[in-house]
Every structure is written in C-alpha cells, then in structure tokens.
Amino acid sequence: MQYLPILQHPDSRLRVKATTVESFDEKLANQADKMLATMYNANGIGLAGTQVDFHRRLIVVDVSESRDGPITLVNPEILLIGETVSSEEGCLSIPGVHDTVKRSDRINISAKSIDGSTLEMEAEGMLAICVQHECDHLDGILFIDHLSSLKRKRINEKLKRAPES
C-alpha cells in the first residue's frame, strides 16, 4: 500500500475548508483505504482528508488499542452533548507538539459511510475527542488554534527552529 504524504504545519493547504463528498465510488473507497494505511503507518489515531491534500469531508479514526477498529466517516456532522473536558492532544501535521485542549467528552455523529449509507452514532471519551479534532481539520482548524495566542506563538517559534525532517 502506498502511503500518502501528510501535510505539515504551517502548510497553507491545512487551512483549506473541505467540500462535501458527492460521489460514493471506488475512488473514494480507495482514498479512505490509503488514509487508514497512512494513519496506521504514522502511529496516529485519526486522519482527515485535508491533512493529505484531499479537500473533501472524509475522516478515518481508530482509537482501539489493538488497532483493529477503523471507522470511516464521510461528511460528518457533530453535535456536542457531553461535558467539557481537558485532554492532551497531538497531531500528525504538527509532529512533536502536544498540549491540553478542551473538548466535549460525548458527541452525536451524523455521517455517511463509505458506500453512502446513513450512519448515526454516539461517541464518548477518546473517540469523541478524536472525531472533533479531525472534523476541525475539515474546517481548516488545527488543535493549536484552541490554545492561547502566547502558546501558539511559542509553538510556531519552536517549529521554525526545528530542523527539517
């Protein structure tokens, strides 16, 4: 399986708002498969289309310890229903950076599956947090955007000083 290149902050393509998926075809299924393989290869728990320069509303997640519980969500919409909790987040597009972000610990998700069928589910804990993080990517939002301007400035300065990998 060919892995997709993951865009790195401050790449401006990470700020592109993804468009709605209209066509549920083999191309979309192949893209989702490549995204899952890329996510697993990078030891991630979630990946949004935006992060791999595919600007459609498609995310893949797998928060299972055994790495055998992939979930693909197309055109996801979320409704926050839980309490706000603080948890540490990182991002495949901002390697080496982790910080505390406030998100809802429970959400309702309305989406399409890869074949276009309607999917409704409730998520809690790490899955809820991961889906919110990935949906932010679809809107051009990075987890560091939830931090104070001082923290963002420090992170950006640190990334500018980091050697190219």
Amino acid at 96: G
3-state DSSP call for residue 71?
A: strand
Rounded distance, CA 24 to CA 112, Å?
Answer: 9
Strand partners, 123: 107
49-83 residues labelled b (16+ CB within 10 A) or e (exposed): bbbbebbbbbbbbbbeeeeeeebbbbbbebeeebe
Q: Which residues are catalytic?
A: 134
Q: What is the rounded distance in angstroms from the CA atom of residue 44 to the CA atom of residue 102?
A: 20
CA dist 55 and 163 (Å) reads 28
Q: How many residues does the chain have?
A: 165
Q: Which residues contact 123 (CB under 8 A, 6 or more apart)?
A: 106, 107, 109, 131
